[in-house]
Amino acid sequence: MYIKVNEAVKNIDALILPMASVLYGLEGYACKPANAHEGGRNVVYVCEKGGEAAAVLRIAFLQDRTREDFLGELEFVRYLFEHGGSVPDVVGSRQGNLLEEVAHDHHTFFICLFQKAAGKTLAENQYRYREGAPMTEYFFNCGKVLGKLHQLSKGYTPSRRRYGFHDKFNADSIEKRIPGSLPLLKEKMLDLLKALEELDKNREAYGIVHFDFNDGNYAIDFATGQITVYDFDNCCSCWYMFDVASLWTNGTGWIQFEPDAGKRRAFMDAYFKTALEGYKSETGLGDALLEKLHLFIQVNLMESIMDAFEVMRNNGEAPECNEALSYRIKCLEDDIPYLGFFHDIYACDEPFEHDKRTI
């Protein structure tokens, strides 16, 4: 049974949070719920003491992940931190455990604690970068921090298996999640899976990736420009190019209201060149892999579409397409590259939206 975030918060606030506070020694801290998002799988609290945020407590309430899944994530994050990755460390419990679990009313809650990342998100800073510094510094640093994480991942040998891309994205999951009224979409997704089967999975191309790399999942120290990446909840074994495609996509927001497609393309070329320079300053990325950028932007689209339908299904809602989801589906069905950002489908007054479609 799927539990919505808002419903889970009520029970967790009253029953699970006090137990978690004891397990992690958080007595005397003010634990405030972070803003939840639709389809969330965790309840997150920012833990403050003396008015300063010190830690982030995460309580998972869905039963879609096992203890081994969580430990696979937390051990990877601890490895990244210990080897110089710009991530918050995992804080052990009073018993020295990276993960604790609490059972209540035949339901298991998995609990972990992280250091609070220094700085703020771009949204919290009204999408302004640090005063006096050019945006190219930010673009470079975005690539650099991701490149460092990938370089460390290339040297990581997990003691516990973290699930892989094809465990969640396969013919069976497409059939299960995508409505039968969208046969062309299913066909295009299966074509993407076939294209991926032809790619190498060597250590330089394939490893554990963040899988949700965007400006909502890292904080920026606006005094130094340092970026600290968090929320590895979706991390999995995949091609590094999946994250690199996310890096490209992240740039569209800076120019999405520009009516001239030529100017949008020129900006994206310059943005991505700078971001890649940052990325390559930390790890290798050959031309053969970069040639797959369009493919992995489409794979990003596939992931977002499947996630949208999964959330509806888990919420017990009938599948429907709003304007944003219709846009993504259109790009995938019609093989429109680069999110349609340079195509006639794109409208700068309603970025990444398309007429609703009936399912």
Does residue 1 register a pLDDT over 80?
no
Does residue 177 register a pLDDT over 80?
yes
pLDDT (0 to 100) of residue 2:
53
18 half-sphere exposure, CB direction, 13 A CA radius: 5
Does residue 139 register a pLDDT over 90?
yes
Does residue 188 register a pLDDT over 80?
yes
pLDDT (0 to 100) of residue 124:
95
pLDDT (0 to 100) of residue 5:
56
Distance of CA 284 to the CA centre of its chain: 22
Q: Is 204 helix (H, G, I), strand (E, B) or coil?
A: coil
DSSP H helical ranges for 13-105: 17-23, 67-82
Does residue 56 register a pLDDT over 50?
yes
Average pLDDT over residues 245-271: 98
Does residue 38 register a pLDDT over 90?
no
CA distances from 34 to 6, 96, 199 (A): 12, 25, 39
Average pLDDT over residues 144-165: 96
- Show Cβ contacts of residue 149 under 8 Å, excluding neighbours closer than 6 positions: 80, 85, 86, 87, 210, 229
22-31, 50-59, 212-221, 227-236: segment of lowest average pLDDT: 50-59
Average model confidence (pLDDT) for the chain?
94
107 half-sphere exposure, CB direction, 13 A CA radius: 16
Does residue 234 register a pLDDT over 90?
yes
What does the alpha-carbon distance between residue 313 and residue 299 come to, in Å, rounded to a whole number?
A: 21
pLDDT (0 to 100) of residue 106:
78
* Selection from 200, 206, 273 nearest residue 243 by Cα: 206
Task: Kindly indicate the confidence band of residue 3, based on its pLDDT and cuts at 50, 70 and 90.
Answer: low
pLDDT (0 to 100) of residue 13:
83
**pLDDT tens track for 73-129:** 999 999 999 999 999 999 999 999 999 999 887 788 999 999 999 999 999 999 999
Check: CB of residue 122 under 8 Å from CB of residue 147: no
Distance of CA 28 to the CA centre of its chain: 32
What does the alpha-carbon distance between residue 297 and residue 227 come to, in Å, rounded to a whole number?
A: 23
What does the alpha-carbon distance between residue 191 and residue 194 come to, in Å, rounded to a whole number?
A: 5
54-58, 96-100, 312-316: segment of lowest average pLDDT: 312-316
Q: What percent of the chain has pLDDT over 70?
A: 96
Terminus-to-terminus CA distance in the chain, angstroms? 24
What does the alpha-carbon distance between residue 30 and residue 165 come to, in Å, rounded to a whole number?
A: 38
What does the alpha-carbon distance between residue 144 and residue 280 come to, in Å, rounded to a whole number?
A: 7
Check: CB of residue 274 under 8 Å from CB of residue 139: yes
* Selection from 56, 50, 38 nearest residue 2 by Cα: 38
CA distances from 280 to 27, 79, 101, 283, 350 (A): 44, 21, 40, 5, 34
Task: Kindly indicate the confidence band of residue 233, based on its pLDDT and cuts at 50, 70 and 90.
Answer: very high
What does the alpha-carbon distance between residue 184 and residue 307 come to, in Å, rounded to a whole number?
A: 18
Q: Is 9 helix (H, G, I), strand (E, B) or coil?
A: helix
Q: What percent of the chain has pLDDT over 90?
A: 83
Burial class (CB in 10 A: 0-12, 13-18, 19+), 197: exposed
Average pLDDT over residues 46-58: 91
Select the more confidently predicted residue: 108 or 253: 253
Q: Are strands 218-220 and 107-115 parallel, antiparallel or unpaired?
A: unpaired
Q: Domains (ranges, CATH) in the chain?
A: 5-115 (3.30.200.20), 123-340 (3.90.1200.10)
What does the alpha-carbon distance between residue 10 and residue 1 come to, in Å, rounded to a whole number?
A: 17
Buried-state track 253-267, b at ≥16 Cβ within 10 A, e below 16: ebbeeeeeeeebeeb
Task: Kindly indicate the confidence band of residue 250, based on its pLDDT and cuts at 50, 70 and 90.
Answer: very high
Residue 192 tokens read as: 């993407």
Element (H, E) at 277: helix 261-280
